[in-house]
Amino acid sequence: MIGRKLAFKESKLFLKIEGEKFFDIAHLCLLKNRSELEEYIALHPFFQSTLEPFDVESDSPRVVRLMAHAAKKIGVGPMAAVAGALAELMLEEVVKKGCRFAIIENGGDIAMKVDRVAKVVVYAGSSPFSGNIGFEVMPKDTPLGLCTSSGTVGHSISFGKADAAVAFADGAALADAAATAIGNAVKSERKLKEAIEVAKNLPVRGAVVIKGKSIAAWGRIPKIVKSKGLPRYFYKEFFE
């Protein structure tokens, strides 16, 4: 098992993966899909700027169709699913080539398939939960998309104030778009239930929302466990 950072333009990833061969496969997949996405955006600039679902052609690149499909299910713009979509396609490619353990994190958005229990630690900015809780993911529950949106951490667009809005779904593109919608609904620490109600109406497995000293959860989510802090590879500036 190896852990590697991977950065290309705006994409900043960390991979925990079964071997160097699979890291190289994932790297090439990222380059291919980023290139195809950039070419599509050059021809369809509104795809990048709209905050509403965007219909794409059936012969559009796979990454574009994946983003658009996830965004339409959730009711957000396709770029809300970009990090999750890239991670999901990377996971799909390495699993197809025989990889049995891969956790691909793209700026807080994770696509994972594991053959043993794995723990994912939550980063929630200045919240006391940050680095102190995590999710214990069982192999039977993967492939899994586990994605986080925040109104207090990072540069991604959010209309809410969540320290962390985490969505769990069958795929990372869908989880990424859903986390955005759930995070948008967090207006204050006392209104986390409103965000959970939003999650209940989305095609996701479940959600966890953190704001300050408050946390709310719903649905079929991994077991929440204590953590001893953020992993050694984690550097705040790398993900922001």
**CATH at 109:** 3.10.520.10
- Examine residue 31 and state whether it is found in any structural domain, yes or no: yes
- Examine residue 240 and state whether it is found in any structural domain, yes or no: no
Q: With helix as H, strand as E and coil as C, how does the chain read?
A: CEEEEEEECCEEEEEEECCHHHHHHHHHHHHHHHHHHHHHHHHCCHHHHCCCCCCCCCCCCHHHHHHHHHHHHHCCCHHHHHHHHHHHHHHHHHHHCCCCCEEEEECCEEEEECCCCEEEECCCCCCCCCCCEEEEECHHHCCEEEEEECCCCCCCCCCCCCCEEEEEECCHHHHHHHHHHHHHCCCCHHHHHHHHHHHHCCCCCEEEEEECCEEEEEECCCEEEECCCCCCCCCHHHHC
Mean pLDDT by 10 residues, the chain (240 residues): 89 94 97 97 97 97 98 97 98 98 95 96 93 96 97 76 96 98 92 94 98 97 88 47
Structural domain total, the chain: 1
- Examine residue 167 and state whether it is found in any structural domain, yes or no: yes
- Examine residue 238 and state whether it is found in any structural domain, yes or no: no
How do residues 45-69 score in pLDDT, each as one tens digit? Answer: 999 999 999 999 999 999 999 999 9
Instruction: Record the pTM.
Output: 0.93
Domain encompassing residue 41: 2-230
- For the chain, what percent of residues have pLDDT higher than 70? 93
